[in-house]
Structure 1
């Protein structure tokens, strides 16, 4: 019973996240689109609204749509990961499986929506950037630090919403969406702020498998950074919230 109650909403919620999030990057970056050149702030808002939609879709499972949030909640010591869903390692695995599957499917749908623009002339890194993050300055250690800091903010503040009373509860997914916009605008410059292992790895796998014209490499040498950094940041955020709240 827990498998369906967790996997299905997390799959569809994370699918919505990456469809809209990768979609706004495609709109801003690919040639010939209506939003070409829209800039990083447009991307920040697009990802934030993708989170807004994804959390609503997955609300029955708690709306994690992010392995770093799931792992951070476990580290925090919560009794439930979602409504009537015990905080166990087994349930956490189901969350992460749903999130990974949804992230992959959302990226595939984004490719279908922008197929003709992916076929147009643009370089491989631009096409990869629609799917996954990459650093402005490649320095693996410091890139990890950036992802740790950004994900710490995400998980710490998300957990704090639960202790902030009715005001935060009424904002719900909108509060999380605005938080993601703020993290992107403030801390997204160095790495593109994955702050979510599924959001980066699922679409990167899709990029590797899809028949994208002139796609180039999937940059697997960097792929561990937006996985490890957010996991560490999520754990630190969960532990810090437990100590304070």
Structure 2
């Protein structure tokens, strides 16, 4: 499997299971309806596990443009591969979101609240305050990237393992994402991943969903810029401490 394919498929599984747990909680007449934030954060942590297991041996399992950018900024990833990784992640996120819609299509049709439908695809703030929301996304991503820097050892076993979230296996990253969701995710829904928000939001815009509302594009720049800022800040601190 090529690195591009691994990032695409790994991100697809990440979104299929991650957005899938949101669908199970917020859509009408599902088995998991109204089961709450603990279920969502646990589901997202396990979705990271699945994505990392698939992609780690082939691409390092970035599954997130902010991870790719952060690793490139500290010299752990080649800049000429950044664009390809991000493209694969965006396409994988879109495909995963499409699959969630297909699986839960009857529930989308019976869910009259358009904002609940949108929540399956993209994040949104609990309190809309652009500067605070941007800061929340940046801090959550900062934690993710900074910790990833300290458990990305390129030499594992007899072969060189690609750098990324899967460099030490899926379990540590899953617990890290779970911790971020439980501790910092309550403000914006913790995108901490531009592809995770942008790809599914595009799919929401394109799909013929009954009762669909706008895709909240005026907010969409926050879960894109915030994670990139957080990744840059993590890279800067890592380089300062390493010097």
TM-score (norm 2): 0.91
Q: Measure the CA separation in 2 of the matches of 1:180 and 1:132.
A: 17
Q: Which residue of 2 aligns with 1:206?
A: 203
Deviation at 1:170, TM superposition (A): 9.0
Q: What secondary structure sits across from 2:187 in the alignment?
A: coil
Q: Measure the CA separation in 2 of the matches of 1:9 and 1:238.
A: 24
Which one of 147, 154, 163 corresponds to residue 137 of structure 2?
Answer: 147
Deviation at 1:146, TM superposition (A): 0.3
Which one of 74, 77, 92 corresponds to residue 75 of structure 2?
Answer: 77
Q: Which residue of 2 aligns with 1:84?
A: none
Matches within 5 A, 1:88-99: 88=79, 90-99=80-89
Deviation at 1:154, TM superposition (A): 0.2
Deviation at 1:121, TM superposition (A): 3.1
Q: Which residue of 2 aligns with 1:234?
A: 231
1:25 aligns with 2:22: yes
TM-score (norm 1): 0.91
Gaps of 5+ in 2: 157-164
Count, aligned residues: 232
Q: What secondary structure sits across from 1:58 in the alignment?
A: helix
Q: Which residue of 1 aligns with 2:49?
A: 52
Please give the per-residue CA displacement for 1:143-172, whole angstroms capped at 9, x wherever unaligned: 000000000000000111136x99x99961
Q: Which residue of 1 aligns with 2:170?
A: 173
Gaps of 5+ in 1: 82-86
1:220 aligns with 2:217: yes
* Superposed CA RMSD: 1.8
Which of structure 1's runs of 4+ aligned residues deviate more than 6 A?
A: none
Deviation at 1:235, TM superposition (A): 1.2
Q: Measure the CA separation in 1 of the matches of 2:241 and 2:52.
A: 25
Contact 1:136 1:190 in 2 (8 A): yes
Deviation at 1:243, TM superposition (A): 2.5
Contact 1:161 1:169 in 2 (8 A): no
Which one of 173, 180, 183 corresponds to residue 183 of structure 1?
Answer: 180
Deviation at 1:75, TM superposition (A): 1.2
Q: Which residue of 2 aligns with 1:159?
A: 149
